[in-house]
Structure 1
């Protein structure tokens, strides 16, 4: 991530937040509140609290947007709002999910020289009530080396000494100069500075550049998530079941992760725990309850069909459930977390995925990941019951914390 943030005054109406997700990847929010200075900055603190708090617990970008919008509708005076873009970057799936509400069009610059426009398709945050607010995010397929540029309107409205604005055409020319070899971020900043000269800025200016990278380059980033200062239970058993329409409206993952993170030794394992919970829940929901086929995601067209069909089937889910049973015990070396995930689907032939080297089985990418992270992985009852045992050790936690403190 590279960024430029230049406020007109001490207090900034533009906001830029970024936080690693427990499941891996990053969540980023770019915002531009109405006006300048202190009045425009008032909304920044509650937005920051919601963004970092919910992202670190595993909530999706859409969930965070709904909560921020509801908060701003309550606290902002009439006529004030926040133009914003939410970016959810997944470096494992090589995709971006983006919501743009009122910011200038962003640009996704492909490594092969092509580009995609990230258009604003929503009203700003703090305008619509909960019932009318649309938090759906667009999905963009990417490759390592692709670069996303997002900006506030201060970039396009930067003026020279003649009162002319930088504008979209000059922005495009700056990106053309960058070509396939130069940095788009540097090209735009150079273009703005050459155009405005020493002219004072007329607005807060924020420019964000996000480069997609190989997932291996981000190993351990989730360990920087904020941790609770409270001590929690070490020996416990929990059963949580989600049913029928709630399967399409609510994700139990943040709640389950929060319960697990109450164990002090597990707090530094949040990324791995979330991955286990997420893979189990996604497989149970998409392949068990909804009956979707992973083979559809083998092609770009099939990928779109898969998620379109997923949304369609979620609207009519009935007489189904997904049940999590979690048990944690302490051991001499650390602790053991046993996770059992059951669903009401028709199951599958789990004998076809018994080979750990087969990535196209139960969850595609997930099976090898589950086997790698867990001490054991067991399928039962025609694949509708999956049990995984996760062992953690005090020495690993201490070593990671010592490395972080250093």
Structure 2
């Protein structure tokens, strides 16, 4: 701000002698002086100036345009306060009133009194200080209100994007501590239709709202694709593509995406820049999933690698992960909390103590020091009865009794609503996630969200067609958790070598007896498989790791019919049934 004790004065007077006298007096006070010879000249100077004077000393009687007229135009042109002090030899009341009515702020009589002029200018300076202080405060208040409005709108958006439930899971406990209003760390949790747990911890570059915005595109992708049953690799690939297309090159996101599948007791981890991802046993033994990928948004499609690290787990156990804000958290002496301290606390305490101990020790360590980064850490506790998740999914999907629906294979009273056919060749079978793709198409045609039961039915049909029909893998390889690794390796190798194969999927929707039915036909080019011994098997009676798919389909669908050698199957499923609450 300009030194307010030194004013910029515009002196307007047609008398050259009086102008020179007043100028020397003003410069003696330490003020900067600009002169004008009449009202017109005064207006020309104001209009040509980038910065207005602090005060105008205006003579009243002047040729061309007098001081009264000039002041009236000044008030019309410049709404901001610009003090005008009239100078006049006329001391009558009428002249003084005319001056104030024209917009003047004060009045001085000629000849000028040096002491009174100095006092009046000091008064103007004090008023200018007050005015400019108020202007600054008003500007600060407007900025604050704008920021508050931005914060309100942003909070509203974030709350609606991060829908309730995306952090709620009985297995998951977490600590989230943003260093500003918004956290650049993003934690999401979702269950797949088969009961597996998907979890993502993302740490966007930067802090606050700008960092939080970087993570927003990931939320919908993670939630929607997890709930639709897409594989973790497909979710990761889509996230990377979305960030590459939306964000500047310097706006990347470090992330760890995890799938915990109680069906096969496997933990799969994709780690792109998250420092601490570790599996812990009750005895404190650890398995580290190191970062072996670039953060999301950096690599192009040709260089991006969505492959995960996978290990089998033995329940009960825990999985811990954190953003770099935890090991980088500093105390008042600038000492970092450190990864070693983190993992010492984890391994030296019982599973049920780990989260509370870590929170308490972190709080004690940093004291009142404000974090310079967002701090997030997560503990996933996989219970000994992890299979209850799978059993509850199956119980949730299986009907408690035969629904009161009437289906007949006669086409007499069937009214077809829509149908589509998809042909997948070896290229698509190797590259695409077929089940969610077909399911999404059914959902679009049906104009409604599709329940989990249909996902399971489609998933079993297509997986049987690929694994047993085309690849010819014997499901009995899954006799134990150890042999399941062999099964997956065999499947991966067989898919890699696949060159000639096809799967034809046909879906036809029709109305019959006031019920909406979906007929699904899946036919593959494989040699088929032995389905006969599984048709009449009960899901509840089968405790093996294999052979549950077909019985599950039979209990969910209204009709299941295998044709030929097992490489073609037709299933009729009611779209009007809902999953049990």
Instruction: Give the TM bin, normalised by the shorter chain.
Output: 0.7 to 0.9
Match of 1:383 in 2: 566
> 5+ unaligned residues in a row in structure 1: which ranges?
224-232
| Inter-CA distance 169–40: structure 2 relative to 1 (3 Å threshold) | same
Q: 1:144 offset after TM fit, Å?
A: 4.4
Matched, 1:373 2:373: no
Counterpart among 72, 85, 91 of residue 243 in structure 2: 72
| Inter-CA distance 281–249: structure 2 relative to 1 (3 Å threshold) | same
Q: 1:363 offset after TM fit, Å?
A: 5.5
- Cα distance in 2 for partners of 1:143, 1:390 equals 36
Match of 2:333 in 1: 162
Q: 1:391 offset after TM fit, Å?
A: 2.9
Q: How does 1:13-28 map to 2 (within 5 A)?
A: 13-28=184-199
Counterpart among 178, 181, 187 of residue 357 in structure 2: 187
Counterpart among 296, 311, 336 of residue 140 in structure 1: 311
- Cα distance in 1 for partners of 2:224, 2:186 equals 16
RCO higher in structure (CA 8 A, sep ≥6): 1
- Cα distance in 2 for partners of 1:387, 1:114 equals 49
- Cα distance in 2 for partners of 1:302, 1:154 equals 40
Matched, 1:280 2:461: yes
Shifted more, 91-100 versus 279-288: the winner is 91-100
- Cα distance in 1 for partners of 2:379, 2:396 equals 20
| Contact 2:260–2:266 (Cα < 8 Å) also in 1 | yes
Aligned residues: 387
Q: How does 1:249-328 map to 2 (within 5 A)?
A: 249-262=431-444, 267=449, 269-328=450-509
Counterpart among 257, 263, 274 of residue 103 in structure 1: 274
| Contact 2:535–2:550 (Cα < 8 Å) also in 1 | no
- Cα distance in 2 for partners of 1:187, 1:85 equals 24
Instruction: Supply the RMSD in Å over aligned alpha carbons.
Output: 2.9
| Inter-CA distance 75–221: structure 2 relative to 1 (3 Å threshold) | farther
Q: How does 1:11-90 map to 2 (within 5 A)?
A: 11-90=182-261
- Cα distance in 1 for partners of 2:181, 2:329 equals 19
Matched, 1:235 2:427: no
Match of 1:227 in 2: none
TM-score scaled to structure 1, two decimals?
0.86
- Tell which structure's C-alpha radius of gyration is larger: 2
| Inter-CA distance 60–371: structure 2 relative to 1 (3 Å threshold) | same
| Contact 2:198–2:259 (Cα < 8 Å) also in 1 | yes
- Could you report, residue by residue, the CA deviation over 1:112-146 in whole angstroms, capped at 9, with x for unpaired residues? 65332122111111111110100011223234432
| Contact 1:272–1:373 (Cα < 8 Å) also in 2 | yes
Match of 1:122 in 2: 293
Matched, 1:351 2:532: yes
Partner SS state of residue 93, structure 1: coil
| Contact 2:264–2:481 (Cα < 8 Å) also in 1 | no
Partner SS state of residue 229, structure 2: coil
- Cα distance in 1 for partners of 2:416, 2:373 equals 52
| Contact 2:265–2:481 (Cα < 8 Å) also in 1 | no
Q: 1:254 offset after TM fit, Å?
A: 1.8
| Contact 2:285–2:347 (Cα < 8 Å) also in 1 | no
Partner SS state of residue 565, structure 2: helix
- Cα distance in 2 for partners of 1:206, 1:234 equals 53
Q: 1:166 offset after TM fit, Å?
A: 1.5
> 5+ unaligned residues in a row in structure 2: which ranges?
1-171, 398-414
- Could you report, residue by residue, the CA deviation over 1:19-53 in whole angstroms, capped at 9, with x for unpaired residues? 33234333222101112123322312222232233
| Contact 1:110–1:146 (Cα < 8 Å) also in 2 | yes
- Could you report, residue by residue, the CA deviation over 1:251-309 in whole angstroms, capped at 9, with x for unpaired residues? 22222111332476963x52111111111111111111111222323344432222222
Partner SS state of residue 346, structure 1: coil
| Inter-CA distance 111–49: structure 2 relative to 1 (3 Å threshold) | same
Partner SS state of residue 283, structure 1: helix
| Contact 1:353–1:362 (Cα < 8 Å) also in 2 | no
| Contact 2:557–2:572 (Cα < 8 Å) also in 1 | yes
- Cα distance in 1 for partners of 2:370, 2:545 equals 58
| Contact 1:146–1:211 (Cα < 8 Å) also in 2 | yes
Match of 2:133 in 1: none
Partner SS state of residue 451, structure 2: helix
- Cα distance in 1 for partners of 2:543, 2:440 equals 31
- Cα distance in 2 for partners of 1:249, 1:103 equals 27
- Cα distance in 2 for partners of 1:152, 1:313 equals 38
Counterpart among 203, 208, 212 of residue 378 in structure 2: 208
- Cα distance in 1 for partners of 2:218, 2:504 equals 33
Q: 1:99 offset after TM fit, Å?
A: 0.5
Counterpart among 157, 178, 195 of residue 349 in structure 2: 178
Partner SS state of residue 154, structure 1: coil
| Contact 1:359–1:367 (Cα < 8 Å) also in 2 | no
